[in-house]
Structures are given as C-alpha cells and as structure tokens.
Amino acid sequence: MKKILPGIITILSLFPVAFAFAQDYNPIPTAMPSLLFAPDARAGGMGDIGVATMPDLYSQHWNAAKYPFIADDAGISFSYTPWLSKLVSDIHLLYASGYWKPENDAADAVSASLRYFTLGGIEVGDMNGEFWQTVSPHELALDLAYSRKLTETFAGSVTLRYLRADYSTGNDETAPGNAFSADMAGYNEAYLTLGRSEALFGVGFSLSNIGTKISYDGGNSSMFLPANMRVGASLGIPLNERHTLSFSTDINKLLVPTPLLAKEGETAEEAQQRIEDYNSISSVAGLFRSLGDAPGGFREELQEIAWSLGAEYTYINQLSLRTGYYNEDAYKGNRRYFTFGAGFRSESFQIDAAYLLSTAHSNPLDQTLRLSLGFDLEGIRNMMRQR
C-alpha cells in the first residue's frame, strides 16, 4: 500500500464509527480491534469458534484453560491471516503461540503468544501534500498464561498481556500507546453416553482484555480495549473407530459501554459534551455499565450479542473438514459470514486452512484464505529417536 489515502481508509475501516448519528447503526468503538480477530485457521474454519472446542495448539487466544487437557507435553503454532487481500497485499495478522506442561499427565500448563497486526507501509505527506516519509502502523500483543486443573474435569487459567499500538505519523498529534490487560477463563469436559458411544461434552467461558484504556495522542484522550465475554459449548460424537463428528457454538458480548446516539436538534456544544462524558468513563466502570446501558434498552443489549455455530468432521484423528457460520446484528456491525476449512495432522505437525465467504457487505476477510501450522514437540522428539 503506497498511498496515504488508502492507508487512512484502512485504519478507519478497523474502528467502528465512534458516535453514530443515524438511528439504524450504533456500533461500539474500541481500540486495538485486532485483539478479537480469530488468529488460527482451525477456529476460522468453524465460524470463529474456540472457547469450548476440543483442546488444541491454538487454545491460547480462545481459552488457555484447555491446555491441561492436552495429552502431549509441549507444542508451538504459527498463523497467517491476510487482511483486505482484494485491495492490498501488505496488511496481515501474524500470530505465534506455544504451551508447555511439566509432564504428560501434569495438572498445569504454561503458555504464551505473540500477535502482530500490521497496516503495511503508508506514505505520509507534509502540509503541501509532498511526500515526507513512510510509516508502518501496527498493533502488538504479548501475553503469558498459567492454567491448572482444579478438579478432574475442570480447569481455570489467568493470562497477563502487554499491548502496544503505534499509529505515529511523525507529528505531535500521534504517539504510540501502551496498555495492560488480563484474561480469566475456565473449561470443563466430561463424557456423556449417547447410544453406544461416549461423546465428549465441553463447556467454556472467557473474560478477555480486561485492563486499562489506551491513548494514541500522548494521553490527551483514551479509548477502551475490546473487553469481551465469551461462553460456548461443544459436543464430540465418535461415529465409529475412524469417524468423529463434533458440533460447537459460541456467543460473545463486548464489555464496553454503548455510545449514546445524537439527539435531534443537538447543538455542537451538547455533542461535544456527550462525547467527553463517554470518554471519561473509566475502564472498570465501563465493564459494569456495558451490561445495561444500551440506549435502546434490553432489545439493544440483545443486539450486542454475536453468535456462531460450527461443525467438524475428523477421520482417524488425521484429516478434518470444517464449516461454520458467524452472525452479528446489522445494528452493531453486520458481520455475517460462512466459513469452510480443512486440516491434516500427523504425529509431529498439523496444518490447517480456512476460507471465509461473507453474506454482508464490506467484510475485510471476504474470500480470504487463512493458514496455521503447528508442531507437537513430543512427536518431533519421538521421530528423531526413531532415526
């Protein structure tokens, strides 16, 4: 991306309109929206579902409490997601995660991840419109989690995260922003008897990005992080020794205050005061206000809940086919899309791919292919020993 105008449009496309003036559209604005982007292709193939799906290498983003239930003792993964791939080639999300358990049957695990979202290179002009310099706006998140089984079937986790967003253009109006946040999550799995089969039933929850606000202008103003509450369930049904079918669902809601709509006949001073009042809400107060502050009452609170459904078919625990659907109310952002995915797993590595097909306008991931690659470190060691 070599021009400043497409760069500005791209940045604006990532942030919902802060204070909607039309009664048919009232999204919730947040800083660093990339924190909510599904980073891995397995979840991406099932409608961006992951809080209660079967534990895997990619659990760090969705629910770190799933790691104690993984049989292997260590693994790492890498994911790549292009953004606005129809228009530009240098906007993408890079994600790496890993976990480690002291022993195979350990009741606890340590995990970490690094997320880097870049808006590519943007040419900035001076007051005369002449080229001045090229900047590379980006968002970065580094986190560390500890998870532990509290009972035979339930585990909990705590994640600490450092955040940095840099949209600096070399002038005094912008400056890199830093923030800290935490996640709390839980996961429970148990076996249910369905006919002659024992189905694996999982439920999970996650409170993510609970932390400070972040500023892009040296502290003159600040924005809420995308604090989020997600709950979900999954059911894995073994059809026979070779075939397994699983179904999953997630629902999530931003724990961020809803902006007040403009009033008819509102003066410029009243509008400015309304915006200042919203910006003055603290991050802690915002969490509680978000549960019942929608201008449209309970109906609008329900509109702020997004949901997704997903299914996965697995053959001999190696080949997987996936599909899913994600739905967000048109009043709150209108992200609606189908997803399709596939994966292959061996003893030492796995590769996953996902494809998104949007049913609503202006989805930046429409017709985009996402890729993830994971490595089972124990499987690699066993393979090396055999040689």
Other C-beta atoms lying within 10 Å of the C-beta of residue 201: 18
pLDDT digits (tens, 9 = 90+) for 291-330: 988 888 899 999 999 999 999 999 998 999 999 999 999 8
What separation in angstroms does the CA of 326 have from each of 266, 268, 308, 310? 36, 38, 4, 9
Cβ neighbors of 223 (< 8 A, separation 6 or more) are: 29, 30, 31, 213, 214, 215, 216, 279
- Give the per-residue pLDDT at 170: 61
9 pLDDT higher than 50: no
Tell whether the torsion through CA atoms of 174, 175, 176 and 179 is positive or negative: negative
Residue 137: is its pLDDT beyond 50? yes
Q: Yes or no: say if 81 and 88 are a contact pair by the CB < 8 Å rule.
A: no
Neighbours of 152 (CB within 10 A): 10
- Number of other residues whose CB lies within 10 A of the CB of residue 93: 20
The answer to whether domain 4-386 has CATH 2.40.160.40 is: yes
pTM for the whole thing?
0.87
Beta partners for residue 109, in sequence order = 147
Angstrom distance (rounded) from CA 110 to CA 67: 8
Please check the confidence at residue 257 and state whether its pLDDT lies above 90.
yes
Give the C-alpha distances (Å, rounded to integers) separating 272 from 268, 277, 353, 359.
6, 9, 46, 36
Phi-psi region of 376 (alpha: psi -120 to 50; beta: other; left: phi over 0): beta
User: 368, 355 in Cβ contact below 8 A?
Assistant: yes
What is the residue-averaged pLDDT of the chain?
85
Residue 166 pLDDT level (bands cut at 50, 70, 90) = confident
Alpha-helix runs per DSSP H in the chain: 4-14, 41-44, 59-62, 268-279, 283-289, 298-303, 377-386
133 and 98 in contact (C-beta within 8 Å)?
A: no
For 203-247, the pLDDT digits (tens) are 999 999 999 999 887 777 888 999 999 999 999 999 988 999 999
Please say whether the dihedral angle defined by the alpha carbons of residues 43, 47, 48 and 52, taken in this order, is positive or negative. Answer: negative
Whether pLDDT at 379 is above 80: no
pLDDT digits (tens, 9 = 90+) for 35-73: 998 999 999 999 999 999 999 999 999 999 999 999 888
